[in-house]
Amino acid sequence: MDFLRQRFAASPGFARVAPFVIFLALTFCQRFGGETGPYWFYFAKTVAGAWLVWQMRPFVREMRWALSWEAVVAGVGVCVMWIGIDGFYPKFGPPGPMWNPHLIFGHGSALAWTFVLVHLLGSTFIVPPLEEVFYRSFLYRYFIQNDFQQVPFSRLHPLSFVMTAIIFGPGQHYHWLAGILCGMVFQWLVIRKNRLGDAMTAHAITNFLLGIWVITKNDWKFW
């Protein structure tokens, strides 16, 4: 573990890319393990993600939560958009297996609700910092110049703006159009506020509200 922290300290790019790549690799592992495997892998991924965030935090100074009215409006607005446009654009490829622990572990069982809670907490507090650091702290600025740390967060670069959103959308979400629009909103927040924390907060609000929608409406396709 000291080796990982040494690499974080030695390479700003590694500190922002490696945790996301590790988290993404664990996400791919969710495909294995039969019916119950995806849920246990998600649990392990969330724990690993929390550890990665803790380890990288001293070396990624911009990874600090920030609250603003723009972040709240953006977070709520993206959630409404994500749900609202779902049936109005084509999807690429199959959606994958439905993520509903009640169908696997028994409706209303303690284990099913444990996985629901883990998913809600993971998507709210772990996914936003890992993704925002990679996409908007590293990738967006790296597209502008290799020495990305010299690029201010307030810098508007149209090509990088579009490219980052396009990679964020289809690369991360079956709901590709919602993902692209979501990426644009979060990038706009970073540029407007000249910091990363508002996008992290907006991302967390979106994921939390989307999770509440999934749970209360029994609409599991969004998970």
Cα Rg of the chain (Å, integer) = 17
Q: What are the pLDDT digits (tens) for 87-121?
A: 999 987 666 667 899 999 999 999 999 999 999 99
Domain that holds residue 143: 64-222
Residue 34: what pLDDT?
Answer: 82
Specify the long-range contacts of residues 6-14, CB closer than 8 Å, at least 24 apart: 8/55, 8/56, 8/58, 8/59, 9/59, 12/59, 12/148, 12/149, 13/138, 13/142, 13/148
Higher pLDDT, 130 or 172: 130
Q: Where are the beta strands (DSSP E) in 69-133?
A: none
How many CB atoms neighbour CB 175 within 10 A? 21
Q: How many domains does the chain have?
A: 1
88 assigned to some structural domain: yes
- Write down the mean pLDDT value for the chain: 94
In the chain, the percentage of residues whose pLDDT exceeds 70 is 96
203 assigned to some structural domain: yes
Residue 96: what pLDDT?
Answer: 64
190 assigned to some structural domain: yes
Residue 28's Cβ-count burial label (10 Å; 0-12, 13-18, 19+) is exposed
Written as six digits, the tokens of 105 are 């572990």
Q: What are the pLDDT digits (tens) for 62-91?
A: 999 999 999 999 999 999 999 999 999 998
